[in-house]
Amino acid sequence: MADSLKETALALGFDAAADIDVATLKPQEWVRSECAENKCQAFNKNWTCPPACGTLEECGARMQRYRRGMIVQTIGQLQKDIDSRGYAEIGLRHSENFRKLAEEVKKQYPDALCLGAGGCRVCKQCAYPEPCRFPEKAYSSMEGYGLFVTQVCRDNGVQYNYGRRTIAYSGCVLYDQKDEAEE
C-alpha cells in the first residue's frame, strides 16, 4: 500500500516521495516561534496555523497516532538566487498537487493527517475565529506542527537541498491510525 501511495504522489506530479518513520516527527518550539513572528501573516488568523492548530504537545500526540508516513517534495529550478516569481510558481504547483494527493489518500484512509507547506489557503480569507468553511479540505503545514523539515528529511535519508538555485517544498501524509491499545 505504501508503494501505491508513492506511485500516486509521483503520478500527481511530485518530484520525490519516500516513506518516513513517524517516530522522527519531533515538534520543536523554535519552529513554532518562527510562526509567532508572523512573517506569513497567518499566525492567529488561520484555523490550520498556530495557535489554533493546537499546542506543540497536542500536535506531537496527534502525529504519533499513526503507524506510517510518507513525505513528498516538489523540486523546482530558480532563475536567479532570489526568485520571488519562481518561489510562488513552484509553491503553487506543490500546493495544488498536495490538495489532490490529500483527496486521494483520504479515499483510502479517511482519518489521514496531511501536513503541507504553508497553512490552508482554500479561502481568500480564513473564517477564523468563525467556524472553518471547508474542514474536509483544510490542512496544516509541517512547520505549523513544529516540524523542522530539514531534520525530518535527514532522519529519513531523504535529500532536502538539491543545489544552488533550486527550491524544494515538502509535505507529509500520515496514515494507518494505531488502535487505542497501541497508543
CA distance 24 to 172: 12
For residues 27 and 144, which CB has a smaller minimum distance to ligand SF4 in the complex? 144
Name the burial class of residue 54, with classes exposed (0-12), middle (13-18) and buried (19+) by CB atoms within 10 angstroms of its CB: middle
Strand order in the sheet with 113-115: 16-20, 66-77, 166-177, 113-115
By C-beta, is 36 or 134 nearer to ligand SF4? 134
Q: How many CB atoms lie within 10 A of CB 115?
A: 27
Asked whether position 133 contacts ligand SF4 by CB under 6 A, the answer is yes
Centre a 10 Å sphere on the Cβ of residue 146 and count the other Cβ atoms it contains: 26
> Whose Cβ is closer to ligand SF4: residue 128's or residue 160's?
128
Residue bearing cell 500536535:
59
Single residue of 112, 117, 138, 142 touching ligand SF4 by CB under 6 A: 138
Q: Does 120 bind ligand SF4 (CB under 6 A)?
A: yes
Neighbouring CB atoms inside 10 A of 180's CB total 7
Among 14, 43, 47, 145, binds ligand SF4 (CB under 6 A): 47
- Span of 3-11, 30-38, 46-54, 172-180 interacting with ligand SF4 by CB under 6 A: 46-54
Answer yes or no whether residue 126 interacts with ligand SF4 by CB under 6 A.
Answer: yes
Rounded least distance, CB 19 to ligand SF4, Å: 28
Applying CB under 6 A, among 123, 155, 165, 176 the residue interacting with ligand SF4 is 123
Closest-CA residue to 171 (of 135, 119, 122, 124): 119
Please give the residue ranges that form the binding site for ligand SF4 (CB under 6 A). Answer: 46-48, 120, 122-123, 126-128, 132-134, 137-138
